Amino acid sequence: MKEKVRFLGLDVHAETIAVAVAEPEGEVRSLGTIPNRAESIRKLIKKLGPAAKLRACYEAGPTGYVVYWQLAELGVECEVVAPTLVPVKAGDRVKTDRRDAEKLARCYRSGDLTAVWVPDEGSEALRDLVRAREAAKQDQTRARHRLSKFLLRSGQRPPTGVRPWTRSYLIWVAQLRFTQIAQESTRQDYLHEVEHMRERVSRLEQAIMEAVKLASPALQQVINDLQARRGIADISAVTIASELGQVSRFESARQLMGYCGVVPSEDSSGKRTRRGGITKTGNAHLRRIVVEAAWSYRRPPAIWYGLRRRQESISEQTKEIAWKAQHRLHKRYMKLGAAGKDQRKIVTAVARELLGFIWAIGTRAETVVSQQVAA
C-alpha cells in the first residue's frame, strides 16, 4: 500500500510563518501562523508528524534557507521553490499569507512547483562573505568618486605622471592643504573614507582566502581550475564558484547561460520570430563577474607570468581547455568588432561563450574529485 504523505505550504516571513496542509486526498486547510523560530517549527512538526510522512515547501526569498535546514534536521523533506514560477489564477487579486500558504500546499501536492537548488550551510556562508566583499568594492568606488569629484570642483589636479588611486596619488592628496577650513575638513573626511574602504576590502579578501581552505574538496578544485582561465584570478574564481555552488547541477552549458541571464530574450508568434536583448534574469552577481572577465579576451592569446603561476597546480587537460578558450574567444571578439557590433554586445557574446568553458572546467573538476573520493 502506498504511504500517504501530507504536504505543507509555508509562507515564510522574517517573524512569522503561515502554515497550510494539503491532505493526501481531499481538503487543503490553514493551520494558522507560528513564530519564525526553531522551537516553533519543531513543535509544528511534532504535532503533524511523523516527519517521514511530511513534505514541506516555501518560496525562495530574503529569509534564505534557514527554515529548509531546520526542517531537514528534523527529518522533513523540504523544497524551496521559485516564486516567479508559482501558478497564478487569472483574476485572482486577493493575496494574504493564509491564501499564499494554501496555494503552495495545493500546488505542491499536484506537482506544479519548480524547486531551486539549495546550497549547504558552508557554501552559503562563503557566498555571503563574497557578496560582502562585492558590497565593499562598490562602497570603495563611491568613496573614490566623492573624493575625485571634490578635488575636481576645487580645481586640484594631480602632478603629471601620477595615476589615480596609486600610492603616489594618495600621498599627493594627503599632502594637499586648503585655506578654507570647511574644504580642509572635507578633504580629510573623504580621504579617511577612501583609506577605510581600502582596508575593509583587503580584510574581506583575506577572510575569503581563509574560508576557501575550509571549503569542500570539490569547491576547492573548481576554484583552483577556474584560475587557468584568462581574466579569472583568485577572488574572481571564488566568486564564480560560490555563486554556482555545484556546477554539475546544470545539465548543459546553455542552462548555465540562462541562469546567468546572458541569453537573448524572445517574443515569437506563428511565423514571426523576434529576439531582443539579453534576459538579465537569474544571478546578477555571476553575470557581472563573467562580463568583467570577458573584457580580457580583446587581447591576443598569451601565457604571461601571473597566469603561468596560477596554472602550476592545474592538470594538462584543464590547461588545454583554457588555451583553446583564449583562441576561440579572442577570435570571436575580433570578428564581432570587425562587423561593427557595439562593444557591450561583443562583450556579452564573449561572456556567453566563456560560461560554456566555465561549465566544462567546473563539471570536470567535480567529476575528478568524486572519482577520487570513490576510489
Same domain? For 277 and 134 the reply is no
Under DSSP, is residue 59 helix (H, G, I), strand (E, B) or coil?
strand
Mark which of 57, 86, 110 sits at the end of a domain.
110
pLDDT at 242 over 90: yes
Domains in the chain, number: 3
Cα torsion at 63, 69, 72, 73 (round to 10°)? Answer: -130
Instruction: Give the residue from 300, 327, 311 showing the smallest Cα distance to 361.
Output: 311
User: What is the mean predicted confidence (pLDDT) over 134-156?
Assistant: 97
Kindly state whether residue 290 falls inside one of the protein's structural domains: yes
Q: Does residue 46 sit in the same domain as residue 95? A: yes
Question: Are 222 and 206 part of one and the same domain?
Answer: no
Same domain, 158 and 269: no
- Which of 212, 230, 258 is the last residue before a domain boundary? 212
Domain containing 100 equals: 6-110
Asked whether residue 194 is domain-assigned, the answer is yes
142 shares its domain with 177: yes
State the first-to-last Cα distance of the chain, in angstroms, to the nearest integer.
39
Q: Which long-range contacts (CB under 8 A, 24 or more apart) does 343-348 make?
A: 347/291, 347/294, 347/295, 348/262, 348/278, 348/291, 348/294
d(CA 225, CA 216): 14
Q: Write down which residue in 110, 138, 168 finishes a domain.
A: 110
Any domain includes 1: no
Whole-model pTM over 0.75: yes
- pLDDT score for 298: 95
Are 173 and 106 within one domain? no
Task: Give Cα separations from 332 to 208, 260, 326, 337 (angstroms).
Answer: 33, 20, 10, 9
Neighbours of 333 (CB within 10 A): 23
208 and 127 belong to one structural domain:
yes
Buried b (16+ CB within 10 A) or exposed e, 230-250: bbbebbbbbbbbbbbbbbbeb
Same domain, yes or no: 26 and 75: yes
For residue 215, what pLDDT band results from cuts at 50, 70 and 90? very high
* pLDDT > 50? residue 1: no
Strand partners, 30: 20
47 and 157 assigned to the same domain: no
Q: Span 111-115, mean pLDDT?
A: 93
Q: What tens digit of pLDDT does each residue of 325-365 get? A: 999 999 999 999 999 999 999 999 999 999 999 999 999 99
| Residue 79 belongs to some domain of the structure | yes
CA 307 to chain centre: 25
Q: Is 89 left (phi over 0), alpha (psi -120 to 50) or beta?
A: beta
Helix (H) or strand (E) run with residue 115 in it: none
Give the model confidence (pLDDT) of 296-314 as tens digits.
999 999 998 899 999 998 9
Q: Which of 44-58, 73-87, 254-268 has the lowest mean pLDDT?
A: 254-268
Buried b (16+ CB within 10 A) or exposed e, 289-312: bbbebbebbeeeeeeeeebeebbe
